[in-house]
Chain A
């Protein structure tokens, strides 16, 4: 596959490491009430859609950016590639 890196352009997916569902961005607060249930859900209960899926990929043999790649799991068509840091910030993650 080819991943169109937002900064570096098209790169061979062989340079990347795949992690999984980009929902991992939303790590629960470990000190909050009910943290245990939320962490079980966060860690183990992932969606595995046949179709469009937002995934975390790491450009290990490149610039070491984590990316959010929107990929159709049935066709491998990639419709969006974003910097994970930007996505995380936009979705409310900070410090």
Chain B
């Protein structure tokens, strides 16, 4: 029976759980590790490289060995630390990295072959021949790599993200964190106290020490109660602060539901908090480190503090016969506490020259061999050994901004560098103050200081507690025996590996890490790094600080990918934007395409149209023949007003805008300052000082940003005001020979060519409702764009369709829109590629050199104006039965398909139902002078190579007679 008296578990309730298919019981308050140990299960996993049998060595998040696959099915999670897994009824866990079973693992043969698997094994073995890298070596390495298995199913749980604000963030709720929180909380400051454990109190829960005359655990519980009663204090148990970012931003993962079989309905499994704080106290305690000796990795060999924690907090004795191997006074606490529990404890005090030199027990510790100071060796039977090589302040977070830790000889450990992160101080064991008294005092003092910075006065009220020194004499590894002594048990890095690294010249700490994989496992070297460093220092005859330091990057402990994704998964990956005709289009069975966040109608299949081309061809032909309606709401709309609005437009557009009359629209070409085309669109002058600019769908936001930049940064005294109206108006294009007749049925005013000529704009009404009308065309047809307040957008599409019935009008989508614009030779996204100038697009003459518009000067650069540069051309296949391929490159006949011979490329390709063959637009060197030339169009990816003819980009109605009709 391993359960002993005492502890903070609720023995009135029994929880059932299973490990590797065997059922056990535990109690609320247990972790999976404590419950397994209570059931005499010491063997919990296998190591990464040698598949050595392993058990828990710690009782916290630093655990390198006891990592398991938790849960089953879609919720199965690999590499879960049993030492921090809160036990719940029905918990199911499996050991990992073993086959066929934990007790008999075929891969344990690696252990016998260990001479071959020393540090650098992969580098040395899988070097040549290079041809083997991808096909042979990588699969072998990948099969051997990795610890747990993924379920390969979708994570069924939800994860939230959230934002918290406070004056003081306290990381860790041990004695220092609690005393800091009490001090700041009582002073009225906004405090967040976060602790990764489900029970706050830190080491106080694992010790038999007193605080203020009561047991430390009771004092912690009372403190938590008081803090919970303060409205200005937020307690975040089960919450790991995973990183410090700039200017007081911290990231934390709250495990809301991990202690339940599954989250309650609607609840997230975890929350990723972004915490904004003015000051921070890192009170994350310290992590004990082992002493390396031969075969120091057997299940049952633990850190001395963990052995004591299992006894004191969880009422678990890992064995009746126990030994403690320590180089400091803290190890003696384990001896005392276990003896008080009635266990038989042997002390091996390294400070007296006694050492543990070996251990035995294949699947769990059976005996240890001790060499006493007088040279005598003895073997004693024990089932547990607690080892203490000292404590390393848990400075992980404090080094996130590269602040180099500072060595302290008194405790033989690194301390966090002072002011390593602005606004953060370290208190308690995290600052190297190991006694309870020091932790409490420091927590209080740091809280007072932090609040004083913020202008808040707090008062000290520090309870009494022990103030014993550590009395440590460094001992890193036992110089005895030829066997392996583990430094980093998870990645199987031994003292020998460190020696080999030194021998082969990898002495710097960064090289040591990469050559041996020291500290690169899921625990990131929380127990092993400093030990490895110390061994290297000893081997090289340097001091530890001379050898190097290790710093840490976020996250502090592994984070589920789901927590980083939050709700942004699957259908919720990003928001969608719906056009005003969306509901109607959905009813019609429209096919939608994502354009940024927008969902636009791509085409509207009718019955009997099994292929998309049939729908698109019909939409194009019918628009050109009669009338077509298209939702163009997604184009960006920017309202530009002010007495200088016209002058402003003249500077942001390359072409002339000063002469635009009220009631008229003009096409505008916008350049970047480097002379390349940024965007294009139309701008309508709605009044003396009022304009409406349209942008391409994709550039609505960047163009708005650019305009704000121009008016605030470049010309701060221009009287111009801007606001986006993209969403305010539902805008439909009505195009085709019958467009006017169709629209006249709905618009209350006369829209005849005389009353509303080409490029006119103005306010109208649609059946009494306010509207805006623009006579502009993208399709090349007689066309209008009609805008109504968005709330009427649904009614408007229905009214247009109804009015168009007598003309057999169609509603067309983005595909037909694309066909018609290529037929007309209008540039769009494929041509506006950020690398093309107005000249490249055949719009060079639009760039006015009589005014200082953005991009004008650099558009005239040598190179940009070279006559042999790219020019927009039309392209058609010589054989009309052949199809062009977008992205194909132009080659003169007989030239090989190399980059040197590349003459340009096809940017846009469509099938023109009007012409009955494939057509395209492209950029061709000296394209203006090459009409009629026949070239090859080669796409090596699509494996197409066809003969094409270079033609005018205006395939349809080149004179523009139709749109003026």
Contacts and interface: CB of A to CB of B under 8 A. Distances in A.
Interface stretch (B48-56, B496-504, B677-685, B715-723): B715-723
A80 interface: no
B89 interface: no
A64 to B, nearest CB: 6
Interface in A1-39: 1-2, 10, 12-13, 17, 19, 24-25, 27-31, 35-36, 39
B709 interface: yes
Contact of B708 (A29, A58, A89): A58
B716 A89 contact: yes
A12 B276 CA distance: 9
B716 A93 contact: yes
Given A2-B246, A30-B857, A88 B852 contact: no
B713 A85 contact: yes
B247 A76 contact: yes
B856 interface: yes
A39 B864 CA distance: 14
B712 A84 contact: yes
Contact of B712 (A31, A35, A36, A88): A88
A48 interface: no
Given A1-B246, A2-B276, A66 B709 contact: yes
A58 B712 CA distance: 10
Contacts of B942: none
Contacts of A85: 712-713, 716
Contacts of B712: 65-66, 84-85, 88
B816 to A, nearest CB: 34
Nearest to B422: A77
A90 to B, nearest CB: 10
Given A2-B276, A58-B708, A66-B708, A94 B717 contact: yes
Given A36-B857, A40-B858, A95-B717, A60 B705 contact: yes
Nearest to A84: B713
B881 interface: no
B185 to A, nearest CB: 23
Nearest to B850: A31
A31 B853 CA distance: 10
Bin chain B's interface residue count: 20 to 34
B858 A43 contact: yes
Interface string B690-731: 000000000001000100110011111110000000000000
A56 interface: yes
B247 A95 contact: no
Contacts of A25: 713-714
A10 B247 CA distance: 10
A31 B848 CA distance: 12
B599 to A, nearest CB: 23
Interface residues of A, number: 37
Interface in B746-802: none
B107 interface: no
B860 interface: yes
A4 to B, nearest CB: 9
Contacts of B647: 95
A24 B717 CA distance: 17
B949 interface: no
Given A77-B422, A94-B717, A1 B673 contact: no
Interface in B47-102: none
Contact of A95 (B249, B705, B718): B718
A89 B860 CA distance: 29
B249 A66 contact: no
Interface in B422-436: 422
A4 B544 CA distance: 42
Which label, helix, strand, loop or mixed, suits the secondary structure of the A interface? mixed
Contacts of A43: 673-674, 858
B317 to A, nearest CB: 51
A13 B836 CA distance: 32
Interface in B895-941: none
Given A36-B861, A39-B857, A43-B673, A58 B716 contact: no
Contact of A88 (B713, B851, B860): B713
Contacts of A10: 276
Contacts of B857: 28, 30, 35-36, 39
A24 B713 contact: yes
A58 to B, nearest CB: 6
B839 to A, nearest CB: 16
Question: Which of B276, B705, B714 has the largest count of A CB atoms less than 10 A from its CB?
Answer: B714
A58 B709 contact: yes
A56 to B, nearest CB: 7
B673 A66 contact: no
Interface in B81-133: none
B248 interface: yes
Interface in A71-95: 76-78, 84-85, 88-89, 93-95
Question: Which of B249, B276, B858 has the largest count of A CB atoms less than 10 A from its CB?
Answer: B858
A3 B547 CA distance: 39
B320 interface: no
A10 to B, nearest CB: 8
Contacts of B258: none
A43 B672 CA distance: 10
A28 B858 CA distance: 12
B276 A29 contact: no
B644 interface: yes
A2 B250 CA distance: 12
Contacts of B860: 36
Interface in B254-296: 276
B858 A39 contact: yes
B650 to A, nearest CB: 12
A66 B710 CA distance: 10
Nearest to A56: B713
A4 B853 CA distance: 33
Interface string B183-198: 0000000000000000
Nearest to B853: A30
Nearest to A44: B674
A44 B647 CA distance: 27
A42 B712 CA distance: 18
B246 A76 contact: yes
A88 B248 CA distance: 31
A12 B246 contact: no
B715 A94 contact: yes
A12 B161 CA distance: 15
B705 A1 contact: no
A25 B710 CA distance: 9
A64 B805 CA distance: 45
Contacts of B714: 25, 27, 88, 93
A24 B673 CA distance: 11
A64 B708 contact: yes
B276 A88 contact: no
A29 B644 CA distance: 19
Interface string A46-59: 00000000001010
Contacts of B858: 36, 39-40, 43
A42 B856 CA distance: 14
Contact of B716 (A12, A29, A94): A94
Contacts of B247: 1-2, 76, 78
Contact of B717 (A12, A29, A89): A89
Given A1-B247, A89-B717, A95 B644 contact: yes
Interface of A: 1-2, 10, 12-13, 17, 19, 24-25, 27-31, 35-36, 39-40, 42-44, 56, 58, 60, 64-66, 76-78, 84-85, 88-89, 93-95
**Which 8 residue pairs spanning A and B have beta carbons closest together?**
A30-B852, A2-B247, A94-B717, A1-B246, A39-B857, A85-B716, A66-B712, A85-B712
Given A30-B852, A43-B858, A93-B717, 9 more contacts: A2-B247, A19-B709, A35-B857, A36-B857, A42-B673, A84-B712, A85-B712, A85-B713, A94-B717
17 contacts: A1-B246, A1-B247, A1-B249, A12-B249, A19-B709, A28-B857, A29-B852, A30-B852, A30-B856, A36-B861, A43-B674, A60-B705, A84-B712, A85-B716, A88-B712, A95-B715, A95-B718
